[in-house]
């Protein structure tokens, strides 16, 4: 039984994960993210991760109109921190595996073995059409096949002297990539489809999952664990959670009410169009939007005790190995979480691990 892991989804895009004019608005700058990463490390969290995003959603918040590049930012954060794992996102559709392999070897050295690679296929057309890098002929299956070939290539470049490999999307001919990483970067992928889970089980170390209900999340987590075990592998499963904490449940609820009152439906509609929803449906969706839609992930609202109980309920109920957390105001909320929730969570986790060891 391994220890549960908790990390932070860094706000590399302005606005973070709240699409609202009345929410705190992280600016997405390097300085903001650096302070966040240092606070996450000081709080005792296990990892910090940033996404890769190339185009925002407009609206009155200009949501994610400003985004830094993930790998470069994480290289800086590797220098700014000492213990926390540094997970960067790379788009397999726009980088040769040979270039990505070297980038992450560099991150392995800068971070002294703390690097992780979140591999994404690039499934949002508008991000890549603007730079002439969108292949509209590729099916979802073809995209995952590309990502699998790409991941196998990167792993081989990290471990073999020379790689010759032909796939539908790249060619490696006697390709050499040295040095090899001293610690092979943790491979992570986020996907909720069965095809995505197959990729996670076969080739990744960590899987970010989502589900509309706890049962759905548990099914996905079991599926990844079971598929990996059948291959004699082990993959950790995570979900995302936004934490809105206050001294009391009522204080926290007031924060949520304020955030919900300014929901930016225009940005949210544009986000849905980017996901592939027809414009007329996205526009009519805005008529039924509520304050809750300002949140892009499931969220917990309440006092430290409420937050603690909810985290235990979700992680246990969905059979997860950890969570990636989002905060409305990272700089104020992270220290509060580190003080009022994390020590108890860790103590409970240690007790659980010990009793699991005794039991087994």
Ligand X SMILES: Cc1cc2nc3c(=O)[nH]c(=O)nc-3n(C[C@H](O)[C@H](O)[C@H](O)COP(=O)(O)O)c2cc1C
Quick check: helix, strand or coil at residue 358?
helix
Q: CB nearer to ligand X: give 123 or 306.
A: 123
Contact with ligand X (CB under 6 A) among 35, 96, 123, 353: 123
Instruction: Tell me: does residue 193 bind ligand X (CB under 6 A).
Output: yes
Q: How far is the CB of 196 from ligand X (least distance, A)?
A: 3
Instruction: Tell me: does residue 240 bind ligand X (CB under 6 A).
Output: yes
Instruction: Tell me: does residue 128 bind ligand X (CB under 6 A).
Output: no
Per DSSP, what are the bridge partners of residue 171? 166
Size of the site for ligand X (CB under 6 A): 15
Instruction: Tell me: does residue 234 bind ligand X (CB under 6 A).
Output: no
Instruction: Tell me: does residue 274 bind ligand X (CB under 6 A).
Output: no
Instruction: Tell me: does residue 122 bind ligand X (CB under 6 A).
Output: yes
- Region for 319 from its dihedrals, namely left if φ exceeds 0, alpha if ψ lies in -120 to 50, beta otherwise: left
Question: What is the number of alpha carbons within 13 Å of residue 167 lying toward its C-beta?
Answer: 21
Q: How far is the CB of 278 from ligand X (least distance, A)?
A: 19
Q: CB nearer to ligand X: give 197 or 255.
A: 197
Instruction: Tell me: does residue 210 bind ligand X (CB under 6 A).
Output: yes
Long-range contacts from 199-203, C-beta under 8 angstroms, 24+ separation: 199/144, 199/147, 199/148, 199/151, 200/224, 200/228, 200/235, 201/227, 201/228, 201/231, 201/233, 201/235, 202/148, 202/227, 202/228, 202/231, 202/233, 203/148, 203/151, 203/152, 203/155
Q: CB nearer to ligand X: give 62 or 126.
A: 126
Instruction: Tell me: does residue 185 bind ligand X (CB under 6 A).
Output: no
Binding mask 77-106 for ligand X (x = CB under 6 A): ------------x-----------------
Token representation of residue 180: 């090899």
Instruction: Tell me: does residue 130 bind ligand X (CB under 6 A).
Output: no
Instruction: Tell me: does residue 120 bind ligand X (CB under 6 A).
Output: yes
Instruction: Tell me: does residue 180 bind ligand X (CB under 6 A).
Output: no
8 Å CB contact between 210 and 221: no
Contacts of 313 (CB under 8 A, 6+ apart): none
> Quick one: which segment of 16-24, 30-38, 60-68, 190-198 binds ligand X (CB under 6 A)?
190-198
Distance CA 12, CA 32 (A): 9
CB atoms within 10 A of CB 85: 22
Quick check: helix, strand or coil at residue 301?
strand
Instruction: Identify residues 45-64 at the interface with ligand X (CB under 6 A).
Output: 51-52
Instruction: Tell me: does residue 191 bind ligand X (CB under 6 A).
Output: yes
Q: How far is the CB of 112 from ligand X (least distance, A)?
A: 24
Quick check: helix, strand or coil at residue 3?
coil
8 Å CB contact between 257 and 307: no
Helix (H), strand (E) at residue 164: strand 163-166
Contacts of 240 (CB under 8 A, 6+ apart): 9, 208, 210, 297, 298, 323, 324, 325, 326
Q: How far is the CB of 306 from ligand X (least distance, A)?
A: 24
Taking the CA atoms of the chain, what radius of gyration do you get in angstroms?
A: 20
Instruction: Tell me: does residue 196 bind ligand X (CB under 6 A).
Output: yes
Quick check: helix, strand or coil at residue 268?
helix
Q: How far is the CB of 53 from ligand X (least distance, A)?
A: 6
> Quick one: which segment of 74-82, 122-130, 214-222, 336-344 binds ligand X (CB under 6 A)?
122-130
> Quick one: which segment of 118-126, 150-158, 229-237, 245-253 binds ligand X (CB under 6 A)?
118-126
Please give the backbone phi and psi of residue 187, each rounded to the nearest 5 degrees, phi first.
-100, 125
Instruction: Tell me: does residue 190 bind ligand X (CB under 6 A).
Output: yes
Q: How far is the CB of 127 from ligand X (least distance, A)?
A: 7
Q: CB nearer to ligand X: give 255 or 272.
A: 272
Contact with ligand X (CB under 6 A) among 208, 299, 330, 337: 208
Binding site for ligand X (CB under 6 A): 51-52, 89, 120, 122-124, 190-193, 196, 208, 210, 240
């Amino acid at each position: 039984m391994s220890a549960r892991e908790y990390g932070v989804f860094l706000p590399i895009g302005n606005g973070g994960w709240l699409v609202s004019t009345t929410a705190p608005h992280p600016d997405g700058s390097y300085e903001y993210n650096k302070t966040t990463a240092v606070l996450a490390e000081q709080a005792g969290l296990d990892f910090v991760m940033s996404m890769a995003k190339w185009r925002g959603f407009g609206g009155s918040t200009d949501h994610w109109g400003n985004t830094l590049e993930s790998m470069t930012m994480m290289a800086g954060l590797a220098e700014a921190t000492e213990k926390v794992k540094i997970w960067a996102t790379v788009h397999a559709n726009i980088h040769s595996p040979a270039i990505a392999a070297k980038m992450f070897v560099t991150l392995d050295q800068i971070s002294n073995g703390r690097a992780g690679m979140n591999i994404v296929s690039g499934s949002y057309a508008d991000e890549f059409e603007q730079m002439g890098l969108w292949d509209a002929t590729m099916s979802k299956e073809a995209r995952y096949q590309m990502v699998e070939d790409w991941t196998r290539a990167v792993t081989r470049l990290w471990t073999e002297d020379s790689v010759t490999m032909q796939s539908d999307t790249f060619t490696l001919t006697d390709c050499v990539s040295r040095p090899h990483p001293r610690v092979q970067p943790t491979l992570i992928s986020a996907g909720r489809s069965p095809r995505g889970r197959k990729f996670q089980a076969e080739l990744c170390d960590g899987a970010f999952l989502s589900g509309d209900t706890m049962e759905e999340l548990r099914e996905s987590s079991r599926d990844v664990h079971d598929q990996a075990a059948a291959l004699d592998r082990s993959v950790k499963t995570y979900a995302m959670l936004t934490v809105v904490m206050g001294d009391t449940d009522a204080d926290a609820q007031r924060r949520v009410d304020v955030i919900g009152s300014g929901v930016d439906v225009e940005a949210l509609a544009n986000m849905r169009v980017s996901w592939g929803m027809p414009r007329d449906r996205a526009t009519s969706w805005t008529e039924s939007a509520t304050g809750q839609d300002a949140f892009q992930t499931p969220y917990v609202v309440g006092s430290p005790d409420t937050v603690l109980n909810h985290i235990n309920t979700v992680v246990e109920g969905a059979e997860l190995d950890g969570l990636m957390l989002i905060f409305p105001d990272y700089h104020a909320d992270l220290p509060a979480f580190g003080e009022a929730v994390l020590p108890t969570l860790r103590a409970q986790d240690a007790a659980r691990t010990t009793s699991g060891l005794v039991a087994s």
